[in-house]
Amino acid sequence: MKTKNLLMVFVIVLLWGSSFSLIKLGLDQTPPITLAFIRFAIASPILLIYTYFKNPLSFKRSLLHDWKTFVLLGLTGVTLPQIFQNIGLQSTSASNSSVIVASNPIWIILFGKFLLGEKLTHRKLVGVIFGFFGVIIVIVQGEAVSITNPASSIGDLITLGSALCWALYSTLGKAYLHSHSARLTTSLSMVSGTFMLIPFMMFTESPIIPSTPISWLYLIILGVFCSGLAYLWWYQILVEEETSKVGLFLFFIPIVSIAVANLLLFEIPSLNFLAGTFLVVLGIMIAEIG
């Protein structure tokens, strides 16, 4: 892998791993759905402008003919996952949230089997079993204990909804990637998903605009860097490097998240939590590398 791309992927893993703690900190002043909306309202124009100027003709044609597809993908890939993740983070730890969300490849395999008829090999089945029991351990008895806010299994279950929605988005998206680039699909889905956050925000909570500089700093990092720059770099790397090699770095996201949560939120992972995390990561590695 090129040195430049290696450095970029390390930054991406750091940003995505840190995002759970940043959301947790941001929730102190901003309601969960409002936080998600502001974050993606910042990120969406970055991806949208970049994607448009890369191929204006393809952008216009796709938006005109396939807008219903992007609405569906936006709902399953942005709106619902962000709602579940942020609401779940109100009562669980950033560490738990990161591991549960990171389990989405396990659910992608199952959705691929039952919705697309994809073959479930023995290796993938073993990976799914390991990952499933790892998630159970994290939810039932593996909470990372926060000094200021003990984790809650209810929040973990809500967060699991985020992983399931993202898995559904990934499964549905496979059917459209043969005619649309991943960058185009992601940017238009992100825009539509951001707009669909508005009714949920208006009718389920009282939107509160953060008033402190530190809260806006969290949102800017989440929007500009975690959801904007990181995605642009990710697609650039995928063009130049083998997908399988780049994808291996994603296994480090929960590890980074746990370390950052320990530093910023004083979350102390229990042995049960670490065991569950190990099973989730091992399950994904068995299934994906195979």
Number of Cβ within a 10 Å radius of residue 58:
15
> What DSSP string describes the chain?
--HHHHHHHHHHHHHHHHHHHHHHHHTTTS-HHHHHHHHHHHHHHHHHHHHHHH-HHHHHHHHHHSHHHHHHHHIIIIIHHHHHHHHHHTTS-HHHHHHHHHTHHHHHHHHHHHHH-----HHHHHHHHHHHHHHHHHHHT-PPEESSS---HHHHHHHHHHHHHHHHHHHHHHTTTTTS-HHHHHHHHHHHHHHHHHHHHHHHS------SHHHHHHHHIIIIIIIIIHHHHHHHHHHHS-HHHHHGGGGGHHHHHHHHHHHHH-EE--HHHHHHHHHHHHHHHHHHH-
**What are the tokens at 259?**
């370390």
Domain ranges of the chain: 3-289
pTM of the prediction?
Answer: 0.90
Of residues 5 and 41, more confidence is placed in 41
Reference 127, options 112, 146, 106, 113; nearest CA is 106
Of 160, 158, 153, 159, residue with least CA distance to 139: 153
pLDDT greater than 60 at residue 153: yes
pLDDT value at residue 57:
85
- Per the document, the length of the chain is 290
Q: pLDDT at position 144, please? A: 53
The answer to whether 107 and 164 are in contact (CB under 8 A) is yes
Tokens matching residue 235: 């697609």
pLDDT of residue 148 exceeding 50: no
Q: What is the mean pLDDT of residues 65-81?
A: 92
Give the pLDDT band (50/70/90) at residue 177: low
Report pLDDT digits (tens) over 184-228: 888 999 999 999 999 999 999 987 888 899 999 999 999 999 999
Per-residue pLDDT band at 19 (split at 50, 70, 90) = very high
CB 165 within 8 Å of CB 283? no
Place 290 in a pLDDT band, splitting at 50, 70 and 90: low
Which of these ranges, 87-101, 175-189, 244-258, has the smallest mean pLDDT? 175-189
Contacts of 249 (CB under 8 A, 6+ apart): 9, 10, 12, 13
The pLDDT mean for the chain works out to 88
Each residue's pLDDT tens digit, 233-280: 888 887 777 766 777 788 889 999 999 999 999 999 888 899 999 999
d(CA 161, CA 282): 21
Short-list 223, 228, 190, CA closest to 71: 190
d(CA 126, CA 129): 5
Higher pLDDT, 78 or 3: 78
